[in-house]
Amino acid sequence: FLKGHGELQEHETMDVRNGLSRYYLVDDVEIEGQIHALDNSDALIIAQPKNRFSEKDKFVIDQFIMNGGKVLWFVDPMLVNRDSLYRTGQTFGMSANLNIEKDMIYKYGVRLNSDIIIDKDCAPLYVPGHPLGTVEWYFYPTLERESHPITKNIDPIKSEYASSAEIVNASDLDVTKTVLLKASYNSRIFKSPARINYSIIDVEPKFNDGTTGDYPVAVMLEGKFTSAFENRGI
């Protein structure tokens, strides 16, 4: 598990760690610009970073991938202040600006968009003071699973303030790009800065307006990648 960029704490990933530790040696690593920081790792999990990546750390991760390392990117391109929503009934989703979205991940084949998906197929949320107490919260999309061994026969996936992902460089035959999870047809996006307000409960947004639906949320990339630092320094 990568550290040093505001990633999830150990107790927040304990269930995953316990499951992985049955088959793998699980540890934490902080790069801090050290070129050999990942030399003893086979796979790297980047779990919800909140702080900007330095160019040196990006270069170390890039070279890890170029040498066959596997990376699981669990990245939120948008930051949402949930405390403000709970206290005032309103908040905003703002771009996280992690310094990996527009060059690094894009170079490998996926654009992480600065938006938030709302979906008619969604999970509930407790709203203080609302007569029903718990309501359908469009900002918690229930993601659809594609027919793939990774996602086959699993329960619906609840997401919270998810952003859309977009496959790019489709002509790159060296990299296979597979959508694993996506929002339903009854979904649309709010671009950054995205206003999030309890009033959406009482006025249902327009779905099925011809510009909505099927937004990818999780994508798997396999193959031979081009370095994000090709033809440029650090």
Q: Which residues, other chains included, contact 186 with Cβ-Cβ below 8 Å and sequence gap of 6+?
A: 119, 120, 121, 207, 208, 212, 213
Residue 100: closest CA among 40, 60, 138: 60
The confidence score (pLDDT) of residue 104 equals: 93
* CA–CA gap between residue 123 and residue 136 (Å, rounded): 6
Distance CA 115, CA 117 (A): 7
User: What is the C-alpha to C-alpha distance for residues 219 and 217, in angstroms, rounded to an integer?
Assistant: 7
With CA atoms as reference, report the closest residue to 127 among 117, 141, 138, 115.
138
3-state class (DSSP) for residue 120:
coil
pTM above 0.85, yes or no: yes
Mean pLDDT split into 10-residue runs, the chain, 234 residues: 97 96 97 94 97 96 96 96 92 95 93 95 91 92 90 91 91 88 93 93 75 88 93 66
Q: What is the pLDDT of residue 210?
A: 64
pLDDT of residue 234: 57
